Amino acid sequence: MPTQPIPAPGSHAISIRNLKKSFGSNEVLKDISLEIEPGEVVCIIGPSGSGKSTLLRCVNLLEVPTSGTVLVGPDEVTHPDADLDRIRRRIGMVFQSFNLFPHLTVLENLTVAQIKVLKRRKEDAIATARLNLHRVGMSSKEDAYPGQLSGGQQQRVAIARSLSMEPQLMLFDEPTSALDPELVGEVLAVMKSLANEGMTMVIVTHEMAFAREVADRVVFMDGGYIVEQGPAQEVIGNPREERTQSFLHRVL
Ligand code: ADP
Ligand code: MG
């Protein structure tokens, strides 16, 4: 695989250079280089086990890369002296499982980290929480507990919770994969509106129709490499690489 050119520092929302990650002798990411621009929406597709989750997790250092560098804005996440708490606060992450606190109400789920981590006053945290519940169409459920909500509603609350921390970018790891099919659309609609508001988003997804509609760029990964990337109409609509073609043949 050719190594991509190295850009000037500080000009990208995310800049990943020559990233490698091994678990023991299993090299899962093999020389990944990728730049994401501010406001860009990038969908990452590829078969199970290709390293998509590991790549996202290396961006906020939930996994420590074996080698290579990751910058978020001008800050090098992989620098030994990096202030990880500060960097991580600027990155929202939404997972397949919603991970809401079951014993807290929806509103409390959205305020707790604002108060504890960002040291916001309670009334400011509540105001921010309500704004973001409105964004995801969940204002009427602020006093509900997660167990009283559908999966789609819980995921929308999880997105609102992330947004309440006012991140500069959002990472989504298969946010609709755990949902019943009839609930997928409401979560994708929220993500689409976020994209339209200009949020920088990296989304691992199997929702090809969503990727075609919303992504500025689609990245196809296989075997720890970026095999192909470009506009959705090219990568999904008219893929060049045989591996992309056979993957799409299986999922479409
Ligand atoms: P994807 O998200 O594309 O399905 P992952 O990034 O989850 O792929 O996994 C890629 C490979 O890395 C898999 O072979 C998986 O077993 C391995 N892997 C992921 N996380 C760990 C871990 N914490 N420890 C050991 N192996 C892991
Ligand atoms: Mg994964």
Q: Alpha-carbon torsion 93, 136, 165, 105, what sign?
A: negative
For residue 4, what pLDDT is reported?
Answer: 40
Which ligand is closest to the CA of 63, given by its number?
A: 1
Q: Which residues of the chain have pLDDT under 50?
A: 1-7
Q: What is the pTM of this model?
A: 0.94
pLDDT tens figures, 12-32: 999 999 999 999 999 999 999
pLDDT tens figures, 132-151: 999 999 999 999 999 999 99
Q: Which atom of ligand 1 is nearest to the CA of 221?
A: 3
For residue 21, what pLDDT is reported?
Answer: 98
Nearest-angstrom CA–CA distance, 98 and 154:
6
What residue owns the CA closest to ligand 1's atom 11?
Answer: 49
Who contacts 75 (Cβ-Cβ below 8 Å, separation ≥6)? 82, 83, 87
For residue 252, what pLDDT is reported?
Answer: 83
Cβ-contact 45, 16 below 8 angstroms: no
Q: Which atom of ligand 1 is nearest to the CA of 51?
A: 6
